[in-house]
Each structure stands twice: as C-alpha cells, then as structure tokens.
Structure 1
C-alpha cells in the first residue's frame, strides 16, 4: 500500500485552490449556506424564495448550486433580511497574531 501525500489547507478552501477574490467568495459561500439552511427549515420552495428576494427562480437555483458570483455580499445580506433575519456587522480589533485579519460569518 502506498502512502498518499496531502497538504493541510487553511480555513478558506477558495484561497487554497487559488480562486480570485477568495475571501469575498468564502463569505458569499457562508451567506448562501445560511440562506439555504433557512429555506430548508421553512420548507421554502425556490419560487417562493425568488419572490421574496425579487429575483427569478433560476437565479435562486444557481445560487444554491454554488453559482453566486453574480450576487454581491450586500445583496445576499438583503436576502437574509427578506427571510426575517437580523444582520449585524461587527468591526473589532484583530487580536490573533498567528492569523491575518479576516471576514467571518456566524
């Protein structure tokens, strides 16, 4: 049996694989995950979500399949507000000397 080599990645897979604008893409992915989770919890169909968001159903479908470059972070935040979510942006001093400052979605 041969050993397989692997490299441990960082916290952002998009940065690890060289995606342009990796930090923004990572934040968008986290926001879309939240949107998808809420839709599933509410049994909300894509057509219903599209009406709430003011977009077409195919756009919601693409977004949920990972094709979300067309949506800005701000627009995804507005989708969360349309789903009755409070969105809070917190800016605080960076304290971890081992890692660079970053954007986080929680």
Structure 2
C-alpha cells in the first residue's frame, strides 16, 4: 500500500492560537489566554522559589484543596483578578497591554 505524501505541515498551536484552534470564540479565547498567561508566570515563580504546596497556601492565604487545583492548572473557578492578586503577593507587577486584534 502506497503512503500518502504530506503536502502541508501540521499546524502547531501556541498559547496565542490554542483556544481558537479547539473551538472557543475569540472573546472566550481572550479570557482564557489571559488566565493561562498569568498562571504560567505564577507557576514559574512558585518553581523558582521551590515553594511547597503548604508554602503556597500560607503565602497566598489559600486552603489546601484550592492550592492543589491551582498547582494542577484547574483554573475553572479562578479569576484573572485572583491570579493577579497572587502574583502581587509574590512581589510581581502585572501589566496589561491592549492593542488591535489581528
């Protein structure tokens, strides 16, 4: 059996395109991109500081089940405001850049 030739490189999703690629509207995707970006930065700081889940909870004033959800990437019930507050507690400044959509 002859193999089919690949004529087009497969599309690779990035944080910028992932949510649209899996079917979210542009508006939903914008919110999810913001939350994802904030979460990625938060996780970088947690890893860099080598914080334990208990340490994260103590610093951010969170209960253990919520720490587990945050560390596991479950952001369903976490707002971008809350993620921004967590970053602020960890000594970070969050800046928002607004520009025309492509």
Say whether the fold is shared (TM-score over 0.5).
yes
Q: Residue 54 in 1 paired to residue 39 in 2?
A: no
Alignment of 1:20-99 (within 5 A): 21-91=28-98, 94=100
* Structure 2: distance between partners of 1:68 and 1:56: 15
Larger Rg: 2
Normalised TM-score (structure 2):
0.75
Ranked by relative contact order (alpha carbons within 8 Å, sequence separation 6 or more), the top structure is 1
Runs of 4 or more above 6 Å deviation: none
Normalised TM-score (structure 1):
0.73
- Alignment partner, residue 18 of structure 1: 23
Kept in 2, the 8 Å contact 1:32–1:64? The answer is: no
Return the structure number with greater helix share.
2
Aligned length in residues: 95
- Kindly state the Cα deviation for residue 2 of structure 1 after the two structures are TM-superposed: 3.5
